[in-house]
Amino acid sequence: MIKLYWSPRTRSFSSLWLMEETGQPYQRVLVDISKGAQKAPEYLAINPMGKVPALSDGEATLAEAAAICAYVAERFPQSNLAPPLGDRRRAKYLYWLFFGPGCIEPAMVQLATKIEMNPTAAGWGHAQRVFDVLDAALTKGPWVLGDAFSAADVVIGSGLNFAVRLFKMAPSRPSFERYIDSCEARPAFQRASTIAAG
C-alpha cells in the first residue's frame, strides 16, 4: 500500500488532495516537523532532503509534491488525473504540473521577501509575469486544461490557495478566486482539508 509522509500546513496538502482524488486506499504517516521528525535517519532514507511530502510505494520512494502528483496520476490511470501518452493535452499538462514548483513557488518567495531579481536571470522570470500568465490561463478555465480536471490542477490549486488565501502572499484576482472556489468545492479537496486540520 502507498504510504504518504506528510505534515499539516505544508506542501503536503497537494499530495493529500491528490490521493483523495484517486479514491485508492493509502496510509498517511504524520511527520512531526515541529519535533524534527524529518531529520530522523529513517525518514532521510525516504527523502534525503528532509522535507515533506514524500511517498513510498513498495520499493519505490520519491519526494517533491509535483513529482508525487505525476507518479500517483500515472500509477492510477483509472482516476483520469493525467492525459495518457499520445494525448495532445499531455504537453500542457506537464507544463502546468511543473509550473507550480518552478514558477509559482519562487514567485511567492519573491513577493514575500520583496527581493528584486533580474527577470532574465531568475528561472521563473518575474513574479508579476508568473501571475499574469496564470491569470490568462485560468480566465479560459474552468481548469488549466480546459474542461478536464487533472493532477496539474491539484498542484496549481494548492499553490494558489496557499499563496492567495491562506498566507496572502500574492494578490488575488477574479480568475484566482473562481478557480480556488472550484478547487475547494471538490469533495477530495474537502476531505484533504479535514485531514490536514487534524
Cα radius of gyration (the chain):
16
* CATH number for the domain running over 90-188: 1.20.1050.10
Q: Are 10 and 52 in contact (CB under 8 A)?
A: yes
Q: What is the mean pLDDT of residues 93-108?
A: 92
Residue 177's closest CA among 147, 151, 142? 142
Q: Which pLDDT does position 141 carry in this prediction?
A: 82
Q: How far is CA 103 from CA 74, 141, 197, in A?
A: 23, 19, 27
Give the domain ranges of the chain.
3-80, 90-188
Q: Which residues pair with 28 in a beta bridge?
A: 4
* 27 Cβ contact partners less than 8 Å away, ≥ 6 residues apart: 1, 2, 3, 4
Q: What is the mean pLDDT of residues 74-97?
A: 96
Q: Which CATH superfamily is domain 3-80 in?
A: Glutaredoxin (3.40.30.10)
Q: What is the pLDDT of residues 105-162, one digit of tens each?
A: 888 888 788 887 766 656 677 888 899 999 999 998 899 999 999 999 999 999 999 8
pTM: 0.93
Residue 80 above 70 pLDDT?
Answer: yes
